Amino acid sequence: MQLQPRLSTWPADRLAEARAVIADIAHHSDHLIRLACNVLATHGTTDVERKDARVLLVVIDARRSVRAAQRDDQGRAGL
């Protein structure tokens, strides 16, 4: 018995989902945006798409640091 290779659509499906998240970035959480960026940075079809995903990932991570600092400052204000 010889096994037939399975043709899977999951990589294309994940890329499509990641692109949809990035296209509608205002309506998604930072966590989901970060996940989409990681998918595109790793599996994007062009160099430009992979580079843009890495740049957006840096922006999202920087924004997270600003939000964390703001939460810390608000916590100290109550002291």
Residue 16 has pLDDT above 80, yes or no: yes
In a domain, 3, yes or no: no
- Cβ-based neighbours of 64, under 8 Å, separated by 6 or more: 30
Return the structure tokens found at 18.
Answer: 């990641």
Whole-prediction pTM: 0.74
Q: How many domains does the chain divide into? A: 1
In a domain, 4, yes or no: no
In a domain, 22, yes or no: yes
User: pLDDT tens digit string along 21-75?
Assistant: 999 999 999 999 999 999 999 999 999 999 999 999 999 988 877 777 777 777 6
Say how many CA atoms lie within 13 Å of 3 toward its Cβ. Answer: 3
In a domain, 2, yes or no: no
Q: What is the pLDDT of residue 71?
A: 75
Q: What is the pLDDT of residue 5?
A: 62
Q: What is the pLDDT of residue 67?
A: 72
